[in-house]
Structure 1
Amino acid sequence: MSSTPDAVAVSAPLDGTTLTYRRLDERANRLAHRLIGLGVRPGDPVAVLMERSPEVVVALLAVVKAGAAYLPLHSAYPLARMQQITDRAGAPVLLTDAALRSRGLPRAGEVVEPATDPAVAAAPATDPGVACDPDAVAYVIHTSGSTGAPKGVEVTHRGVLAFTADSSWSEAHRRILSLAPYAFGVSTYEIWVPLLRGGRVVLAPPGEPDVATVRRLLADEGVTALHVTAGLFRVFAQEAPDVFAPVREVLTGGDVIAPTAVRRVLDACPDTVVRAMYGATELTAFAACATMTAACPPDGPVPVGRPMDGMDFRLLGPGLVPVPDGETGELYVAGDRLARGYHHDTALTEDRFVTDPAGTRMYRTGDLMRRTADGRLEFAGRVGDQVKIRGYLVEPGEVEHVLARQDGVADVAVVARDDGPGEDKRLVAYVVPGGRFDGTGTDGLRDAVAALLPGYMVPAAFVVLDALPLTPNGKLDRAALPAPGRPAPAPVPETEGLTPGRRLLCDLFARALGLDAVGPHDSFFELGGESLQAIRLAGRIGAELGVEVSAADILSHPTVAELETLLRDLTPAPL
């Protein structure tokens, strides 16, 4: 595992847990033997559903040691979506923990809780010695699919090893903070880059990150690098740009990166490098990067950058013909990091992974780009309807499929909108009622989507129309779809007698949501609030009141009145 087996491999600072390379290896070996004893064979999928903790890292390594492929389930997924994924995998063994077992698990072939399973504790601590084919599947990560079901991307061991060996991962990436859910491709960077290069994984606590927690972890744990999504990077740049000062590099991507946010961070952290990352799950996480420093900040749109080691980027037009520099083409990528394809979906695999006339296998990204005179790539849009929401690639068609199945929905369209400068892109559902749904109240539709899809795929707004606007040739006229209005907050009676503290909280809620006013009993989420705005609000409350509040606190106390009750126990002075 390491030339220094007693060095710390994994730490969870906020609960004081650490694992050395020796201990990590022994625990993963025991669990691997347990999986093999349950009949897990090379190539089999093993589902993993756990909170972010050292147990997750043990589980992922154990699955690999057993020769199997880990199938991560995101704890924020609705149970129905988890069931879709495990059913397609053929009811695999499921590894879980006490916290998530208590919330309810999808049906699986066998459920194992490694931390409490006596058969795991009694298993040998020696390596099981299972041979591994480099082209075998290491993990299957599910992303949004246009057919109404998530699609599973099969990433190989060869792809992971090539990714972790990239020359980009200098000493700056020895101690990496893990913030992303392990069910997303960024976790390949956060977990396998440090472990396969003798570094350390520093685990953030479960849940949404917040400024105060990230600041403490970066300052106290010697973190040298981390990745945050473009949306979260923008929030940190606005609220606390100096938070990244302790690290050597901060990586960001997953969506369009605001150059103003990059400049704010570089101004506040002149010794920190900001690295823009481009990639896809199908490319084993990142495939290109652009480095920005205080001496060389972006002077325009943040570029996609240059391909990483072994990645061959091609801008092609119709018939796979290369386009000249300066002209827009679709990006195709070749190299040894390409995924094997999509789990149990030959047709989609053949559509997205194509072969050029010379026989080279390429991944068709769906991204439109142009190459500048100095060889850098610039993003120019998407082919088709895929969009990025909070850093996640989303097929609006999948949301449409869910809504179209609801009783009383005659027609529906789901689009992504950003209706103002600095606004985050959000999904909007346009619904034509029919049958039992008469168009009054859309909470039932929102709940139906939330029961089947992750939170980032639930539309932020629903607009009821008599009919969807169409172009003369009968297609949806997206330009004619009206912008959704924000819900008006309930009026605050003059007799309410707001205290100064409650008035301040109402003002902070309103500013975070971009509203003129918010009443003390208005729900943050019913007013259109999302996780990034909750992180922003938590930071502003901390700055104004001198008290540490997390995004999770806002999730569980979504009104001013509820949050005020919590803050009374935390603030040094009365509200």
Structure 2
Amino acid sequence: MTDEHPSPAGVPGAAPWGPACPRPDTFEPFPEAAVEGSIGARFAEVAARHGDTVALRSPAGTWTFAALADDVNRFANALLGRLGAGEEPVALLFDHDGPLVAAMLGTLSAGKLVLVLDPEAAPSVTESLLADSGARLLVADESRLTAAFDLAGPDVTVVRDSALVEGAPATPPDVEVTPERGAMLAYTSGSSGSAKAAVIPHRALLHLMRGATDALSISPGDTLPMLFPVSLAVAAYPMFLPLLNGGTLTTFDVRGQGLADLGRWLADEQVSVMYVAPTVARFMVDVVAEHTYPSLRLVVLGGERVDADAVALIREMFGAHLVVANGYGTTETGVLTFYFLDPQAPPPADATVPVGYAIPDTELLVLDEDGQPVRPGVTGEVSVRSAHLFQGYWGKPELNEMVLHATDDDMAIYSTGDLGRVDENGCLELVGRSDAQVKVRGHRVVLGEVEEALLSLDLVKDAVVLHREVGGVGTLDAFVVPATDEQEVVADVPAIRDALSARVTTPMVPARFHLLDELPTLPNGKLDRQALRDPSGDRPRPGAVADGTDDIERRLVELWEDLLDVRPVGIDEDFFELGGHSLLAAAMLVEVEEIFRVTVPISEMVSTPTILHIGGCIRQGDREAGRSALVAVQEGDGTRPPLFWGHDLHGTALRFRALGRALGPDQPLYTFESPFLDPVPPQIFSLPTLARRYVDDLVEAFPEGPYLLGGYSFGGVLAFEMARTLLDLGHEVGLLAVVDVGPGFRGELYKPTRRPAKPWLGMLDPPDPSLSLTEKVRHYRGGTVKGVARHVVWRVGIDHWLEPVLFRRDLKETGQIAPSHRVWYAWRKHWELAAKGWNWRGATYPGRVELIWADESGSTDSTMGWGDIAEGGVGVHRVPESHEEMMDEGFAGSTAAVLRALIDETTASDRTPGG
């Protein structure tokens, strides 16, 4: 053997595959000219050169290349005699055995599209694929003939393989098969949706053979196994490698024979190169341990995420000397990249192993949402540019337009739907699916990155994360196989959640964790995501769940379970840790008021968001009118002065739980619950009046200053007006911090007359802009009638005049704003106070203003307009978050760090910016 391994040729971006894959002395590069031929022509050429070499071994017998070529020719000539030379699909229903291989090559040699049906699949699935293909002929072996007749419709002819080839000549078929002609109908595995068939032409299939042959050094003398059903293209592609290079293909039916004899069989067959999915490898540990594998030189992993543990497992099973490769491809493309792991190098440190570099004449592109290339290291959608791509989806031109795009140089670009990033050398790392790029509480999250973070934990053996919607807002479910120590589970849900929370932002922490013994798989060993989807929301009962003790608590349990889609729920469990969010909490309290006829303020969900606490509030009944608006988000430990925070347009203290946690448990944080959230709206018609109301409550609770004030967005304007009011009353203001607001603010979507985005309470969330039209329609169909109607009213803009009509009707009929309208009412009133009843002109402040400025927000000047207002100057503090996420879980830390430093500075210097 030699270690020589040239870099792949090809378009820009090609790079060495990695450490050299040792090449047998008999290796010959796959001829480039063969790519412009056909599978049948290449097989005939190889068979002529290696006639006496064993090409195929199976339970049904052994074929030399010469014998296999004769059977292939008979099958091809029989098809041509029955169907003619036109291009059309032919369906095959065979056992996992040698005759299936001959039938596939014969179909390809006749210029027909081969469709391999899985004899073990559900009949309904097989029937649908057969009907979708439009095949007129279904060929079956003896054992599957009865099943074939059951599957075939009136337009499908069924014939036994032996009857078909009877009398057919073994001479080469007289038909021209061009490189553009379709070779295979490659149906997707159906792990996450309905199946569709990619049309793989001969040119594309031969291009894959060239790339894999040269990357893996496939040579005469190599033996490759056919372990899994070749009805799945990902299993069919490797099957051709030995047959088109003078090697040997040997068959073993893993599904039919099980794994018990696999280790002995691999050793006896002297398998040298093997493709296997990591999940399947984990089941092979015990069966391969009793044998040695001196012939095995290379294992190619793929079909799912490959991590360092999978690589270590392969070497533990088959030997430390082994070269292990990671391969990446799709049903539509076959394997496009390889990454080799040097046996002499230390194991990879990262949780996920890169998928590597592209095969020749293939360019990998990583694109943003606008279709533009991203910088190295930035995540985007993986696309493939090549002249050797599939032709599109069989009978589905509307799908072709979504994923295939022609270029000006006779190439095409295929959008894989996978997310990845490349390094400076062009090495690709996958992070998930673009359809697994989801919104969680307004933040874009890539499911693959959450899974990668979970897999990096010592507590986790395997994991997958799915997205679901709760109350119209995205949330995550994690399905985790915990690590074990001598058969004992070493981790529970709280430990895993805590460990993950230390590594990722809060939106990336799943709301629910499900502990499993193993993840479900499809017949080809890939993860079966459909089997994980659990619409019931049931979860393992987390220890001793506290059940409701009376009718109120039991009814609240039912309500929370329905809203959160989690069962069971204990009366002492945290609403937000169960997957709730602030708008869902508001929706829950609307339901509470309608059921129990008691108004529970949203502020009651700030410190103790449990059924036990809310039940106590219901028993107390309605609170007295005119209660204090001051709400403690957290009371601190008495060592630091309190910070008083103006609410934003939502008007609720719930919005600032994340800010409180980010400030630290020792920092007291108080905010205000808007009186516009009360059933009977207050007689407040100006921002200074609202500010005075809050100042009165503040001074009553904390008579002595100096007062530390701040606020986000509308809350910054509110804090500014409160500071001026306090000074007018003779009090001291030690700090005025405003967050991303000012007369010069120009946000990304700023328009002087445009209202900010309103809360989505009771409305269907808007679909992700990156979705196709079909997916957007499906999103709307999944909403409730009321939720879609409210969304449409907002989308067309008539809510601007319709809402006041609804509010007036509420007040006329009951004297109160309806519970389901209250959040909208408060939001609108706050906006009106700021936009119509108050302006910046002539406003001044005798002290200093500290401006915390989001990097993405624009401004008319360097102080966001505060320079003409703050007589004591403006301190500007830039933070990396966007305006919309500054107060959210996982993102409030930057703002909190600035605030904490300002509080420390104020306390140390006893500085009073106003007063």
TM-score, normalising length from structure 2? 0.43
Mapping for residues 488-527 of structure 1, pairs under 5 Å: none
Q: Match of 2:129?
A: 85
Whole-angstrom distance in 1 between the partners of 2:65 and 2:256:
28
1:5–1:139 Cα change, 3 Å = same
Q: Match of 1:126?
A: 171
Match of 2:435 among 381, 384, 395: 384
Whole-angstrom distance in 1 between the partners of 2:564 and 2:75:
54
- Partners of 1:28 and 1:61 within 8 A in 2: yes
Q: Match of 2:55?
A: 9
Deviation at residue 352 of structure 1 after TM alignment = 0.9
Q: Match of 2:459?
A: none
Instruction: State the secondary structure of the residue aligned to 2:204.
Output: helix
- Answering whether residue 226 of structure 2 is matched by residue 165 of structure 1, we say no
- Partners of 1:334 and 1:363 within 8 A in 2: yes
Q: Match of 2:157?
A: 110
- Answering whether residue 260 of structure 2 is matched by residue 199 of structure 1, we say no
Deviation at residue 161 of structure 1 after TM alignment = 1.1
Deviation at residue 52 of structure 1 after TM alignment = 0.8
Which deviates more from structure 2 when the two are superposed, residues 332-341 or residues 51-60? 332-341
Deviation at residue 288 of structure 1 after TM alignment = 0.4
Mapping for residues 288-327 of structure 1, pairs under 5 Å: 288-296=337-345, 297-300=347-350, 301-327=352-378
Q: Match of 2:480?
A: 419
- Partners of 1:135 and 1:158 within 8 A in 2: yes
Deviation at residue 243 of structure 1 after TM alignment = 6.4
1:344–1:367 Cα change, 3 Å = same
- Answering whether residue 379 of structure 2 is matched by residue 328 of structure 1, we say yes
Which deviates more from structure 2 when the two are superposed, residues 355-364 or residues 303-312? 355-364
Deviations 1:78-98 (A, max 9, x none): 111111111122242111122
Whole-angstrom distance in 1 between the partners of 2:293 and 2:268:
12
For 2:201, give the aligned amino acid.
Answer: T
Deviation at residue 203 of structure 1 after TM alignment = 0.6
- Structure 1 residues not aligned, in runs of 5+: 401-410, 424-449, 478-575
**RMSD (Å), alpha carbons:** 3.5
Whole-angstrom distance in 2 between the partners of 1:224 and 1:290:
18
Match of 1:340 among 391, 409, 426: 391
Deviation at residue 232 of structure 1 after TM alignment = 0.9
- Answering whether residue 79 of structure 2 is matched by residue 35 of structure 1, we say yes
- Answering whether residue 266 of structure 2 is matched by residue 218 of structure 1, we say yes
Whole-angstrom distance in 1 between the partners of 2:411 and 2:167:
48
- Partners of 1:47 and 1:86 within 8 A in 2: yes
Whole-angstrom distance in 2 between the partners of 1:359 and 1:34:
36
For 1:419, give the aligned amino acid.
Answer: V
Q: Match of 2:455?
A: none
1:46–1:414 Cα change, 3 Å = farther
Which deviates more from structure 2 when the two are superposed, residues 366-375 or residues 356-365? 356-365
For 1:28, give the aligned amino acid.
Answer: V
Whole-angstrom distance in 2 between the partners of 1:54 and 1:318:
46
Whole-angstrom distance in 1 between the partners of 2:143 and 2:530:
25
Instruction: State the secondary structure of the residue aligned to 2:415.
Output: strand
Whole-angstrom distance in 2 between the partners of 1:54 and 1:356:
41
Deviation at residue 101 of structure 1 after TM alignment = 2.6
Q: Match of 2:764?
A: 474
For 1:295, give the aligned amino acid.
Answer: Q
Whole-angstrom distance in 1 between the partners of 2:407 and 2:131:
35
For 1:261, give the aligned amino acid.
Answer: A
Whole-angstrom distance in 1 between the partners of 2:257 and 2:381:
34
For 2:304, give the aligned amino acid.
Answer: D
Whole-angstrom distance in 1 between the partners of 2:370 and 2:277:
34
Mapping for residues 32-71 of structure 1, pairs under 5 Å: 32-71=76-115
- Partners of 2:367 and 2:381 within 8 A in 1: yes
Whole-angstrom distance in 2 between the partners of 1:239 and 1:416:
33
Whole-angstrom distance in 2 between the partners of 1:336 and 1:158:
9
Deviation at residue 351 of structure 1 after TM alignment = 0.5
- Partners of 2:55 and 2:68 within 8 A in 1: yes
For 1:249, give the aligned amino acid.
Answer: L
- Partners of 2:325 and 2:341 within 8 A in 1: yes
- Answering whether residue 318 of structure 2 is matched by residue 272 of structure 1, we say no
Whole-angstrom distance in 1 between the partners of 2:269 and 2:249:
11
Q: Match of 1:506?
A: none
Deviations 1:439-482 (A, max 9, x none): xxxxxxxxxxx9xxx994762574525467597463599xxxxx
Q: Match of 1:95?
A: 139
Mapping for residues 223-302 of structure 1, pairs under 5 Å: 223-236=271-284, 240=288, 245-246=293-294, 247-268=296-317, 269-283=319-333, 285-296=334-345, 297-300=347-350, 301-302=352-353
Mapping for residues 353-392 of structure 1, pairs under 5 Å: 353-355=404-406, 360-385=411-436
- Partners of 1:46 and 1:93 within 8 A in 2: yes
- Partners of 1:234 and 1:258 within 8 A in 2: no
1:80–1:467 Cα change, 3 Å = farther
Whole-angstrom distance in 2 between the partners of 1:249 and 1:416:
36
- Partners of 1:51 and 1:206 within 8 A in 2: no
TM-score, normalising length from structure 1? 0.67
- Partners of 2:261 and 2:287 within 8 A in 1: no
Whole-angstrom distance in 1 between the partners of 2:64 and 2:475:
48
Whole-angstrom distance in 1 between the partners of 2:196 and 2:269:
37
Instruction: State the secondary structure of the residue aligned to 2:260.
Output: helix
Deviations 1:230-258 (A, max 9, x none): 21123335875786843111111111113
For 2:160, give the aligned amino acid.
Answer: E
Whole-angstrom distance in 1 between the partners of 2:257 and 2:179:
35
Which deviates more from structure 2 when the two are superposed, residues 251-260 or residues 373-382? 373-382
Question: Which structure's CA Rg is the greater one?
Answer: 2
Aligned length: 425
Deviation at residue 100 of structure 1 after TM alignment = 2.2
For 1:282, give the aligned amino acid.
Answer: E
- Answering whether residue 69 of structure 2 is matched by residue 25 of structure 1, we say yes
- Partners of 2:60 and 2:98 within 8 A in 1: no
Deviations 1:367-416 (A, max 9, x none): 11111244321112211149999xxxx9x99xx9xxxxxxxxxx9x9998
Instruction: State the secondary structure of the residue aligned to 1:327.
Output: coil
- Structure 2 residues not aligned, in runs of 5+: 1-43, 438-446, 452-463, 485-521, 538-561, 566-579, 585-759, 768-915
Identity of paired residues, percent? 27
Whole-angstrom distance in 1 between the partners of 2:128 and 2:192:
13
- Partners of 1:242 and 1:265 within 8 A in 2: no
- Partners of 1:249 and 1:275 within 8 A in 2: yes
- Partners of 2:191 and 2:528 within 8 A in 1: no
Whole-angstrom distance in 2 between the partners of 1:22 and 1:340:
32
Mapping for residues 533-544 of structure 1, pairs under 5 Å: none
Whole-angstrom distance in 1 between the partners of 2:292 and 2:414:
34
Match of 1:183 among 231, 241, 245: 231
Which deviates more from structure 2 when the two are superposed, residues 88-97 or residues 67-76? 88-97
Deviation at residue 208 of structure 1 after TM alignment = 5.6
Whole-angstrom distance in 2 between the partners of 1:193 and 1:128:
22
Whole-angstrom distance in 1 between the partners of 2:65 and 2:237:
18
Q: Match of 1:464?
A: 536
Moved over 6 A (4+): 145-148, 241-244, 386-389, 413-416
1:97–1:26 Cα change, 3 Å = same
- Partners of 1:40 and 1:66 within 8 A in 2: no
1:291–1:241 Cα change, 3 Å = farther
Deviation at residue 149 of structure 1 after TM alignment = 3.9
1:101–1:414 Cα change, 3 Å = farther
- Answering whether residue 374 of structure 2 is matched by residue 350 of structure 1, we say no
Instruction: State the secondary structure of the residue aligned to 1:177.
Output: strand
Q: Match of 2:823?
A: none
- Partners of 2:113 and 2:185 within 8 A in 1: yes
For 1:131, give the aligned amino acid.
Answer: E
Q: Match of 1:447?
A: none
